[in-house]
Amino acid sequence: MMKQYIFSAVCLMSGVLCMSSCNEDKQAKPYTPDYEIVPEYTNADTWTAYEAFNDNLLDPDKNIYKTSTAYTAATDRNNGAAAIWCQPIYWDMAMNAYKRAKAEGDTERENKYKQLCDDLFAGNKAHYVNFDFDDNNENTGWFIYDDIQWWTITLARAYELFKVEEYRSLAEASFARVWYGSPRVGDTGSYADPEKNLGGGMFWQWQPIGNPNENAAGDGKMACINFPTVVAALTLYNNVPTDRVADPNPESWSNKYGDFTRPHYETKEAYLAKGKEIYEWAVKNLVDSNTGEVADSKHGEGNPAWSDHVYNQATFIGASLLLYKATGEKTYLDNAILGADYTMNTMSETYDLLPFESGVEQGIYTAIFAEYMAMLVNDCGQTQYVPFLKRNINYGWANRDRTRNLCGGEYHKAQIEGATIDSYSASGIPALMLLFPADK
Protein backbone atom coordinates (compact mmCIF):
# COMPACT_ATOMS: atom_id res chain seq x y z
CA MET A 1 0.00 0.00 0.00
CA MET A 2 1.48 3.32 -1.10
CA LYS A 3 1.58 6.03 1.53
CA GLN A 4 2.54 9.69 1.46
CA TYR A 5 4.59 10.81 4.46
CA ILE A 6 5.87 14.23 5.50
CA PHE A 7 9.38 13.97 6.81
CA SER A 8 10.00 16.22 9.77
CA ALA A 9 12.84 15.27 12.08
CA VAL A 10 14.66 12.06 12.67
CA CYS A 11 16.91 11.36 15.58
CA LEU A 12 18.45 8.07 16.62
CA MET A 13 18.44 7.37 20.34
CA SER A 14 19.38 3.85 21.43
CA GLY A 15 18.22 2.50 18.13
CA VAL A 16 14.92 4.39 18.29
CA LEU A 17 13.40 6.40 15.49
CA CYS A 18 11.93 9.58 16.94
CA MET A 19 9.70 11.82 14.85
CA SER A 20 7.83 15.08 15.24
CA SER A 21 5.62 17.01 12.85
CA CYS A 22 6.72 20.40 11.47
CA ASN A 23 3.21 21.69 10.90
CA GLU A 24 -0.40 21.26 11.89
CA ASP A 25 -1.47 19.52 8.69
CA LYS A 26 -3.84 16.78 9.89
CA GLN A 27 -2.85 14.65 6.90
CA ALA A 28 0.80 14.71 7.86
CA LYS A 29 2.20 11.42 9.05
CA PRO A 30 5.57 10.54 10.52
CA TYR A 31 8.09 9.46 7.95
CA THR A 32 8.61 5.73 7.87
CA PRO A 33 11.71 4.59 5.98
CA ASP A 34 11.45 1.62 3.65
CA TYR A 35 14.32 -0.09 5.43
CA GLU A 36 14.67 -1.40 8.97
CA ILE A 37 16.84 0.40 11.51
CA VAL A 38 16.42 -2.09 14.35
CA PRO A 39 18.00 -5.53 14.63
CA GLU A 40 15.98 -8.68 14.13
CA TYR A 41 14.95 -10.62 17.21
CA THR A 42 16.21 -14.16 17.71
CA ASN A 43 14.59 -17.29 19.07
CA ALA A 44 16.72 -16.91 22.18
CA ASP A 45 15.19 -13.45 22.61
CA THR A 46 11.75 -15.05 22.71
CA TRP A 47 12.53 -17.00 25.84
CA THR A 48 14.31 -14.03 27.41
CA ALA A 49 11.24 -11.86 26.80
CA TYR A 50 8.71 -14.38 28.09
CA GLU A 51 10.71 -15.26 31.17
CA ALA A 52 11.15 -11.56 31.95
CA PHE A 53 7.39 -11.07 31.61
CA ASN A 54 6.77 -13.79 34.18
CA ASP A 55 9.62 -12.76 36.49
CA ASN A 56 8.28 -9.22 36.75
CA LEU A 57 4.51 -9.58 36.44
CA LEU A 58 3.44 -12.98 37.79
CA ASP A 59 2.60 -13.25 41.48
CA PRO A 60 4.47 -16.50 42.24
CA ASP A 61 2.53 -17.13 45.43
CA LYS A 62 -0.97 -16.78 43.96
CA ASN A 63 -0.16 -17.77 40.37
CA ILE A 64 -2.16 -14.97 38.85
CA TYR A 65 -0.77 -11.90 37.12
CA LYS A 66 -0.33 -8.44 38.56
CA THR A 67 -1.65 -5.21 37.14
CA SER A 68 1.84 -3.75 36.83
CA THR A 69 5.37 -3.77 38.14
CA ALA A 70 4.30 -1.23 40.76
CA TYR A 71 2.73 -4.05 42.81
CA THR A 72 4.49 -6.76 44.75
CA ALA A 73 1.40 -8.98 44.87
CA ALA A 74 -1.87 -9.57 43.03
CA THR A 75 -4.14 -9.12 46.03
CA ASP A 76 -7.50 -8.39 44.41
CA ARG A 77 -9.19 -6.35 41.70
CA ASN A 78 -8.41 -3.01 43.30
CA ASN A 79 -5.03 -3.94 44.70
CA GLY A 80 -2.62 -5.38 42.22
CA ALA A 81 -4.46 -8.16 40.39
CA ALA A 82 -4.70 -7.81 36.62
CA ALA A 83 -8.21 -7.72 35.17
CA ILE A 84 -10.23 -10.92 35.34
CA TRP A 85 -10.70 -11.02 31.56
CA CYS A 86 -6.98 -10.58 30.85
CA GLN A 87 -5.85 -13.46 33.07
CA PRO A 88 -6.96 -16.07 30.49
CA ILE A 89 -4.95 -14.27 27.79
CA TYR A 90 -1.87 -14.78 29.95
CA TRP A 91 -2.80 -18.46 30.30
CA ASP A 92 -3.00 -18.61 26.49
CA MET A 93 0.57 -17.30 26.42
CA ALA A 94 1.70 -20.04 28.79
CA MET A 95 0.06 -22.68 26.61
CA ASN A 96 1.78 -21.21 23.57
CA ALA A 97 5.11 -21.33 25.42
CA TYR A 98 4.50 -24.99 26.23
CA LYS A 99 3.67 -25.79 22.60
CA ARG A 100 6.66 -23.81 21.34
CA ALA A 101 9.06 -25.61 23.71
CA LYS A 102 7.61 -28.98 22.73
CA ALA A 103 7.99 -28.17 19.03
CA GLU A 104 11.61 -27.20 19.62
CA GLY A 105 12.32 -30.43 21.48
CA ASP A 106 13.24 -28.47 24.61
CA THR A 107 12.10 -30.92 27.27
CA GLU A 108 13.19 -28.76 30.19
CA ARG A 109 11.14 -25.77 29.03
CA GLU A 110 8.27 -28.02 27.98
CA ASN A 111 8.00 -29.36 31.53
CA LYS A 112 8.48 -25.90 33.01
CA TYR A 113 5.65 -24.36 31.04
CA LYS A 114 3.34 -27.34 31.47
CA GLN A 115 3.73 -26.76 35.20
CA LEU A 116 3.06 -23.05 34.70
CA CYS A 117 -0.14 -23.88 32.82
CA ASP A 118 -1.27 -26.10 35.69
CA ASP A 119 -0.34 -23.46 38.25
CA LEU A 120 -2.16 -20.67 36.42
CA PHE A 121 -5.35 -22.71 36.30
CA ALA A 122 -5.13 -23.52 40.00
CA GLY A 123 -4.26 -19.95 40.93
CA ASN A 124 -7.08 -18.41 38.96
CA LYS A 125 -9.56 -20.99 40.19
CA ALA A 126 -8.67 -20.20 43.79
CA HIS A 127 -8.80 -16.45 43.24
CA TYR A 128 -11.97 -16.27 41.14
CA VAL A 129 -14.41 -18.06 43.47
CA ASN A 130 -13.62 -21.55 42.13
CA PHE A 131 -14.98 -20.52 38.73
CA ASP A 132 -18.48 -20.17 40.13
CA PHE A 133 -19.83 -18.11 37.23
CA ASP A 134 -23.05 -17.34 39.12
CA ASP A 135 -21.11 -15.42 41.80
CA ASN A 136 -21.34 -11.76 40.80
CA ASN A 137 -19.31 -10.12 43.56
CA GLU A 138 -17.41 -7.22 42.03
CA ASN A 139 -14.01 -8.02 43.49
CA THR A 140 -13.28 -11.65 42.63
CA GLY A 141 -16.52 -12.63 40.88
CA TRP A 142 -18.21 -12.40 37.50
CA PHE A 143 -20.15 -9.25 36.74
CA ILE A 144 -20.09 -8.69 32.98
CA TYR A 145 -20.74 -11.07 30.12
CA ASP A 146 -17.58 -10.64 28.10
CA ASP A 147 -15.33 -11.25 31.12
CA ILE A 148 -16.89 -14.69 31.41
CA GLN A 149 -16.73 -15.44 27.70
CA TRP A 150 -12.99 -14.74 27.45
CA TRP A 151 -12.57 -17.51 30.01
CA THR A 152 -14.82 -19.84 27.99
CA ILE A 153 -12.43 -19.51 25.07
CA THR A 154 -9.26 -20.21 27.03
CA LEU A 155 -10.74 -23.04 29.08
CA ALA A 156 -11.89 -24.71 25.86
CA ARG A 157 -8.42 -24.22 24.35
CA ALA A 158 -6.85 -25.72 27.46
CA TYR A 159 -9.08 -28.77 27.09
CA GLU A 160 -8.11 -29.04 23.43
CA LEU A 161 -4.43 -29.05 24.37
CA PHE A 162 -4.36 -31.07 27.59
CA LYS A 163 -7.62 -33.07 27.50
CA VAL A 164 -8.41 -32.28 31.15
CA GLU A 165 -12.14 -32.86 31.50
CA GLU A 166 -12.56 -30.14 34.13
CA TYR A 167 -11.43 -27.53 31.61
CA ARG A 168 -14.16 -28.46 29.13
CA SER A 169 -16.80 -28.76 31.84
CA LEU A 170 -16.02 -25.25 33.08
CA ALA A 171 -15.91 -23.87 29.53
CA GLU A 172 -19.38 -25.24 28.85
CA ALA A 173 -20.67 -23.91 32.17
CA SER A 174 -19.36 -20.43 31.43
CA PHE A 175 -20.79 -20.46 27.90
CA ALA A 176 -24.21 -21.43 29.26
CA ARG A 177 -23.98 -18.77 31.98
CA VAL A 178 -23.43 -16.08 29.37
CA TRP A 179 -26.02 -17.27 26.89
CA TYR A 180 -28.91 -18.12 29.21
CA GLY A 181 -28.44 -15.98 32.32
CA SER A 182 -28.21 -16.95 35.98
CA PRO A 183 -30.81 -18.19 38.48
CA ARG A 184 -28.86 -16.57 41.32
CA VAL A 185 -28.00 -13.25 39.71
CA GLY A 186 -31.39 -12.86 38.04
CA ASP A 187 -30.22 -11.50 34.68
CA THR A 188 -31.91 -12.66 31.49
CA GLY A 189 -28.76 -13.69 29.64
CA SER A 190 -26.56 -12.19 26.96
CA TYR A 191 -28.42 -13.72 24.02
CA ALA A 192 -30.72 -11.16 22.41
CA ASP A 193 -33.33 -13.64 21.21
CA PRO A 194 -35.03 -12.36 18.03
CA GLU A 195 -38.12 -14.38 18.94
CA LYS A 196 -38.44 -12.15 22.02
CA ASN A 197 -38.07 -9.01 19.87
CA LEU A 198 -34.57 -8.37 21.20
CA GLY A 199 -33.03 -8.04 17.75
CA GLY A 200 -30.35 -10.74 17.73
CA GLY A 201 -26.72 -10.74 18.74
CA MET A 202 -25.35 -10.64 22.28
CA PHE A 203 -25.77 -8.04 25.02
CA TRP A 204 -22.60 -6.83 26.66
CA GLN A 205 -23.76 -6.51 30.29
CA TRP A 206 -26.55 -6.75 32.80
CA GLN A 207 -27.43 -3.78 34.97
CA PRO A 208 -27.58 -3.15 37.84
CA ILE A 209 -25.02 -5.81 38.70
CA GLY A 210 -26.73 -6.76 41.96
CA ASN A 211 -30.39 -6.56 40.98
CA PRO A 212 -30.51 -6.60 37.20
CA ASN A 213 -33.20 -5.29 34.95
CA GLU A 214 -34.40 -7.33 32.02
CA ASN A 215 -32.27 -6.69 28.94
CA ALA A 216 -34.02 -4.63 26.27
CA ALA A 217 -33.53 -4.44 22.51
CA GLY A 218 -31.85 -1.03 22.76
CA ASP A 219 -29.14 -2.13 25.18
CA GLY A 220 -25.52 -2.25 24.04
CA LYS A 221 -24.34 -5.11 21.86
CA MET A 222 -20.57 -4.80 21.72
CA ALA A 223 -18.14 -6.45 19.33
CA CYS A 224 -16.19 -7.64 22.39
CA ILE A 225 -18.99 -10.02 23.37
CA ASN A 226 -20.35 -10.95 19.94
CA PHE A 227 -17.22 -12.16 18.17
CA PRO A 228 -15.76 -13.82 21.29
CA THR A 229 -19.05 -15.71 21.61
CA VAL A 230 -18.52 -17.07 18.10
CA VAL A 231 -14.94 -18.04 18.96
CA ALA A 232 -16.15 -19.72 22.16
CA ALA A 233 -18.94 -21.61 20.40
CA LEU A 234 -16.68 -22.86 17.61
CA THR A 235 -13.87 -23.85 19.97
CA LEU A 236 -16.36 -25.92 21.95
CA TYR A 237 -17.79 -27.30 18.70
CA ASN A 238 -14.31 -28.59 17.92
CA ASN A 239 -14.00 -30.29 21.29
CA VAL A 240 -17.27 -32.02 22.14
CA PRO A 241 -18.38 -35.52 21.10
CA THR A 242 -20.09 -35.88 17.73
CA ASP A 243 -22.72 -38.25 19.13
CA ARG A 244 -23.61 -36.16 22.17
CA VAL A 245 -27.34 -35.68 22.80
CA ALA A 246 -29.02 -32.67 24.40
CA ASP A 247 -28.83 -32.30 28.18
CA PRO A 248 -31.83 -34.24 29.58
CA ASN A 249 -31.71 -32.41 32.92
CA PRO A 250 -31.16 -28.68 32.35
CA GLU A 251 -31.52 -26.16 35.14
CA SER A 252 -34.87 -24.41 35.27
CA TRP A 253 -36.01 -21.36 37.22
CA SER A 254 -38.54 -18.58 37.22
CA ASN A 255 -38.34 -14.95 38.24
CA LYS A 256 -40.25 -11.74 37.58
CA TYR A 257 -39.05 -11.76 33.97
CA GLY A 258 -40.33 -15.22 33.11
CA ASP A 259 -39.36 -18.88 33.00
CA PHE A 260 -35.82 -19.89 32.10
CA THR A 261 -33.92 -23.05 31.19
CA ARG A 262 -30.14 -23.47 31.10
CA PRO A 263 -28.55 -26.69 29.84
CA HIS A 264 -25.26 -27.74 31.34
CA TYR A 265 -23.88 -28.31 27.85
CA GLU A 266 -24.87 -28.14 24.18
CA THR A 267 -24.68 -30.65 21.37
CA LYS A 268 -21.96 -30.27 18.77
CA GLU A 269 -24.54 -29.11 16.22
CA ALA A 270 -25.95 -26.53 18.63
CA TYR A 271 -22.55 -24.91 19.21
CA LEU A 272 -22.05 -24.56 15.46
CA ALA A 273 -25.55 -23.17 14.96
CA LYS A 274 -25.09 -20.63 17.74
CA GLY A 275 -21.74 -19.56 16.35
CA LYS A 276 -23.16 -19.10 12.87
CA GLU A 277 -26.15 -17.14 14.13
CA ILE A 278 -24.17 -14.67 16.20
CA TYR A 279 -21.56 -14.27 13.47
CA GLU A 280 -24.23 -13.44 10.90
CA TRP A 281 -25.75 -10.80 13.17
CA ALA A 282 -22.37 -9.32 14.11
CA VAL A 283 -21.09 -9.06 10.54
CA LYS A 284 -24.33 -7.46 9.39
CA ASN A 285 -24.42 -4.95 12.25
CA LEU A 286 -20.81 -4.37 13.30
CA VAL A 287 -18.59 -4.81 10.22
CA ASP A 288 -18.01 -2.60 7.19
CA SER A 289 -18.05 -5.23 4.46
CA ASN A 290 -16.08 -2.98 2.11
CA THR A 291 -13.16 -2.16 4.39
CA GLY A 292 -13.07 -4.83 7.11
CA GLU A 293 -13.45 -2.25 9.89
CA VAL A 294 -15.18 -3.56 13.01
CA ALA A 295 -17.38 -1.18 14.98
CA ASP A 296 -17.14 -1.17 18.75
CA SER A 297 -20.85 -1.48 19.46
CA LYS A 298 -24.42 -0.98 18.41
CA HIS A 299 -27.46 0.08 20.42
CA GLY A 300 -30.86 -0.85 19.06
CA GLU A 301 -31.47 0.14 15.46
CA GLY A 302 -29.09 3.10 15.58
CA ASN A 303 -25.84 3.40 13.68
CA PRO A 304 -22.86 1.42 14.95
CA ALA A 305 -20.19 3.21 16.99
CA TRP A 306 -17.30 3.22 14.52
CA SER A 307 -14.40 3.17 16.93
CA ASP A 308 -11.44 0.97 15.96
CA HIS A 309 -9.88 -1.44 18.46
CA VAL A 310 -7.31 -4.10 17.65
CA TYR A 311 -8.97 -6.75 19.81
CA ASN A 312 -12.27 -6.38 17.98
CA GLN A 313 -10.47 -6.84 14.67
CA ALA A 314 -8.73 -9.85 16.22
CA THR A 315 -11.85 -11.69 17.33
CA PHE A 316 -13.57 -10.92 14.01
CA ILE A 317 -10.59 -12.56 12.31
CA GLY A 318 -10.68 -15.50 14.74
CA ALA A 319 -14.43 -16.04 14.47
CA SER A 320 -14.19 -15.95 10.67
CA LEU A 321 -11.33 -18.45 10.59
CA LEU A 322 -12.96 -20.93 12.95
CA LEU A 323 -16.11 -20.90 10.84
CA TYR A 324 -14.04 -21.28 7.68
CA LYS A 325 -12.25 -24.29 9.13
CA ALA A 326 -15.55 -25.80 10.30
CA THR A 327 -17.47 -25.27 7.05
CA GLY A 328 -14.94 -24.76 4.26
CA GLU A 329 -16.92 -21.73 3.08
CA LYS A 330 -14.44 -19.29 1.54
CA THR A 331 -16.48 -16.21 2.46
CA TYR A 332 -15.34 -16.64 6.04
CA LEU A 333 -11.67 -16.69 5.02
CA ASP A 334 -12.22 -13.64 2.82
CA ASN A 335 -13.68 -11.81 5.83
CA ALA A 336 -10.69 -12.73 7.98
CA ILE A 337 -8.30 -11.39 5.36
CA LEU A 338 -10.36 -8.21 5.02
CA GLY A 339 -10.21 -7.65 8.79
CA ALA A 340 -6.48 -8.31 8.91
CA ASP A 341 -5.81 -6.01 5.96
CA TYR A 342 -7.73 -3.18 7.62
CA THR A 343 -5.75 -3.62 10.83
CA MET A 344 -2.40 -3.65 9.02
CA ASN A 345 -2.99 -1.07 6.29
CA THR A 346 -5.31 1.45 7.95
CA MET A 347 -5.12 1.16 11.71
CA SER A 348 -1.34 0.67 11.70
CA GLU A 349 -0.40 3.12 8.95
CA THR A 350 1.17 5.83 11.11
CA TYR A 351 4.30 3.86 11.95
CA ASP A 352 3.53 0.60 10.17
CA LEU A 353 3.14 -0.73 13.71
CA LEU A 354 0.07 -1.82 15.64
CA PRO A 355 -1.58 1.18 17.31
CA PHE A 356 -1.40 1.58 21.07
CA GLU A 357 -4.37 2.62 23.19
CA SER A 358 -3.58 4.01 26.60
CA GLY A 359 -6.84 3.12 28.34
CA VAL A 360 -6.77 0.74 31.29
CA GLU A 361 -6.25 -2.85 30.08
CA GLN A 362 -6.08 -1.87 26.39
CA GLY A 363 -2.45 -2.89 26.14
CA ILE A 364 -3.64 -6.52 26.04
CA TYR A 365 -4.98 -6.08 22.51
CA THR A 366 -1.78 -7.15 20.72
CA ALA A 367 -1.67 -10.46 22.62
CA ILE A 368 -5.23 -11.21 21.49
CA PHE A 369 -4.40 -10.19 17.92
CA ALA A 370 -1.35 -12.48 17.94
CA GLU A 371 -3.49 -15.54 18.68
CA TYR A 372 -5.73 -15.14 15.66
CA MET A 373 -3.07 -13.91 13.27
CA ALA A 374 -1.14 -17.10 14.01
CA MET A 375 -4.24 -19.02 12.96
CA LEU A 376 -4.51 -16.96 9.77
CA VAL A 377 -0.83 -17.38 8.90
CA ASN A 378 -0.16 -20.94 10.02
CA ASP A 379 -3.49 -22.69 9.50
CA CYS A 380 -4.66 -20.80 6.43
CA GLY A 381 -1.39 -20.05 4.67
CA GLN A 382 -1.72 -16.26 4.65
CA THR A 383 1.98 -15.55 5.08
CA GLN A 384 1.77 -12.03 3.64
CA TYR A 385 1.31 -10.71 7.20
CA VAL A 386 4.54 -12.15 8.59
CA PRO A 387 6.80 -9.17 7.69
CA PHE A 388 4.39 -6.77 9.40
CA LEU A 389 4.13 -8.93 12.51
CA LYS A 390 7.90 -9.35 12.73
CA ARG A 391 8.37 -5.59 12.27
CA ASN A 392 6.25 -5.08 15.40
CA ILE A 393 8.36 -7.59 17.29
CA ASN A 394 11.63 -6.06 16.14
CA TYR A 395 10.67 -2.53 17.16
CA GLY A 396 9.04 -3.54 20.43
CA TRP A 397 11.99 -5.68 21.46
CA ALA A 398 14.60 -3.11 20.39
CA ASN A 399 12.85 -0.50 22.52
CA ARG A 400 12.45 -2.65 25.64
CA ASP A 401 13.61 -1.76 29.11
CA ARG A 402 17.00 -3.41 28.78
CA THR A 403 17.51 -3.73 32.52
CA ARG A 404 14.44 -5.93 33.00
CA ASN A 405 13.87 -7.03 29.37
CA LEU A 406 10.29 -5.78 29.58
CA CYS A 407 8.51 -4.35 26.56
CA GLY A 408 5.94 -1.57 26.49
CA GLY A 409 2.91 -1.06 24.30
CA GLU A 410 4.19 1.77 22.10
CA TYR A 411 6.62 -0.17 20.02
CA HIS A 412 8.29 2.84 18.40
CA LYS A 413 9.21 4.37 21.77
CA ALA A 414 12.05 3.39 24.08
CA GLN A 415 10.99 2.19 27.52
CA ILE A 416 12.42 4.16 30.42
CA GLU A 417 14.48 1.79 32.52
CA GLY A 418 12.84 1.06 35.85
CA ALA A 419 9.57 2.82 35.02
CA THR A 420 6.27 1.15 35.89
CA ILE A 421 5.06 -1.13 33.11
CA ASP A 422 1.61 -2.72 33.17
CA SER A 423 1.18 -6.39 32.37
CA TYR A 424 -1.27 -5.61 29.57
CA SER A 425 1.20 -3.55 27.55
CA ALA A 426 4.11 -5.83 28.42
CA SER A 427 2.32 -8.90 27.05
CA GLY A 428 2.15 -7.98 23.38
CA ILE A 429 5.70 -8.55 22.18
CA PRO A 430 6.31 -11.85 24.02
CA ALA A 431 2.88 -13.05 22.85
CA LEU A 432 3.86 -12.36 19.24
CA MET A 433 7.32 -13.88 19.72
CA LEU A 434 5.91 -17.14 21.06
CA LEU A 435 3.73 -17.57 17.98
CA PHE A 436 6.07 -16.28 15.28
CA PRO A 437 9.54 -17.83 15.49
CA ALA A 438 12.53 -15.80 14.37
CA ASP A 439 14.61 -16.77 11.37
CA LYS A 440 17.40 -17.90 13.68
What CATH number did the domain enclosing 349 receive? 1.50.10.20
Position 414 scores a pLDDT of 98
Q: Tell me how far apart the alpha carbons of residues 250 and 181 are, in angstroms, rounded to a whole number.
A: 13
Position 70 scores a pLDDT of 98
In this structure, are 33 and 82 located in the same domain? Answer: no
In this structure, are 135 and 278 located in the same domain? Answer: yes
Residue 193 falls inside a structural domain? yes
pLDDT over threshold 50, residue 3: no
Mean pLDDT of 22-43: 64
Residue 219 falls inside a structural domain? yes
Note the Cα 384 to chain centre separation in Å: 22
In this structure, are 12 and 98 located in the same domain? Answer: no
Given a contact cutoff of 8 angstroms between Cβ atoms, the answer to whether 329 and 279 are in contact is: no
Mean pLDDT of 270-278: 99
Q: Tell me how far apart the alpha carbons of residues 323 and 326 are, in angstroms, rounded to a whole number.
A: 5
Domain that holds residue 69: 41-435
- Pick from 138, 140, 168: nearest CA to 152: 168
Q: Which residues make Cβ contacts (< 8 Å) with residue 269, sequence separation at least 6?
A: none
In this structure, are 24 and 163 located in the same domain? Answer: no
Q: What is the pLDDT of residues 301-355, one digit of tens each?
A: 999 999 999 999 999 999 999 999 999 999 999 999 999 999 999 999 999 999 9
Q: Tell me how far apart the alpha carbons of residues 389 and 323 are, in angstroms, rounded to a whole number.
A: 24
Burial of 325 (0-12, 13-18, 19+ CB in 10 A): middle
Position 10 scores a pLDDT of 34
Position 377 scores a pLDDT of 99
In this structure, are 97 and 117 located in the same domain? Answer: yes
Position 219 scores a pLDDT of 98
In this structure, are 272 and 392 located in the same domain? Answer: yes
Task: Give me the percent of the chain exceeding a pLDDT of 90.
Answer: 91
- Pick from 248, 190, 242: nearest CA to 220: 190
Given a contact cutoff of 8 angstroms between Cβ atoms, the answer to whether 151 and 174 are in contact is: yes
Q: What is the pLDDT of residues 232-246, one digit of tens each?
A: 999 999 999 999 999
Residue 421 DSSP SS3: coil
In this structure, are 203 and 178 located in the same domain? Answer: yes
Position 32 scores a pLDDT of 57
Mean pLDDT of 28-49: 81
In this structure, are 125 and 240 located in the same domain? Answer: yes
Q: What is the pLDDT of residues 178-221, one digit of tens each?
A: 999 999 999 999 999 999 999 999 999 999 999 999 999 999 99
Residue 407 falls inside a structural domain? yes
Q: Which residues make Cβ contacts (< 8 Å) with residue 414, sequence separation at least 6?
A: 13, 14, 16, 399
Strand ranges for 215-319 from DSSP E = 220-222, 251-255, 258-262, 297-299
Q: What is the pLDDT of residues 67-88, one digit of tens each?
A: 999 999 999 999 999 999 999 9
Q: Does 37 or 265 have the greater pLDDT score?
A: 265
Position 30 scores a pLDDT of 57
The overall longest dimension of the chain from CA atoms, in Å, is: 69
pLDDT over threshold 90, residue 13: no
Position 122 scores a pLDDT of 99
Q: Tell me how far apart the alpha carbons of residues 322 and 333 are, in angstroms, rounded to a whole number.
A: 9
Burial of 132 (0-12, 13-18, 19+ CB in 10 A): middle
Given a contact cutoff of 8 angstroms between Cβ atoms, the answer to whether 282 and 295 are in contact is: no
Residue 2 falls inside a structural domain? yes
Q: What is the pLDDT of residues 364-416, one digit of tens each?
A: 999 999 999 999 999 999 999 999 999 999 999 999 999 999 999 999 999 99
Mean pLDDT of 116-128: 99
In this structure, are 337 and 430 located in the same domain? Answer: yes
Residue 36: pLDDT band with limits 50, 70, 90: confident
Residue 214 falls inside a structural domain? yes
Lowest mean pLDDT among 25-29, 106-110, 146-150, 154-158: 25-29
Position 34 scores a pLDDT of 58
Residue 2: pLDDT band with limits 50, 70, 90: very low
Given a contact cutoff of 8 angstroms between Cβ atoms, the answer to whether 159 and 239 are in contact is: yes
pLDDT over threshold 90, residue 116: yes
Q: Tell me how far apart the alpha carbons of residues 136 and 138 are, in angstroms, rounded to a whole number.
A: 6
pLDDT over threshold 60, residue 247: yes
Residue 440 falls inside a structural domain? no
Position 20 scores a pLDDT of 34
Position 35 scores a pLDDT of 62
> What is the chain's mean pLDDT, rounded?
94
Q: Tell me how far apart the alpha carbons of residues 16 and 11 are, in angstroms, rounded to a whole number.
A: 8
DSSP class of residue 356 equals -
In this structure, are 128 and 2 located in the same domain? Answer: no
Task: Give me the percent of the chain exceeding a pLDDT of 70.
Answer: 92
Residue 294, beta-bridge partner list = 287
Q: Tell me how far apart the alpha carbons of residues 423 and 74 are, in angstroms, rounded to a whole number.
A: 12
Position 29 scores a pLDDT of 54
Residue 16: pLDDT band with limits 50, 70, 90: very low
In this structure, are 21 and 60 located in the same domain? Answer: no
In this structure, are 50 and 29 located in the same domain? Answer: no
Residue 107 falls inside a structural domain? yes
Distances (CA, A) of 163 to 133, 206, 415: 22, 33, 40
Mean pLDDT of 111-135: 99
Residue 236 falls inside a structural domain? yes
Mean pLDDT of 293-297: 99
Query: CA geometry: angle at 34 spanning 31 and 35, to 5°?
Result: 115
| Domain count across the chain | 2
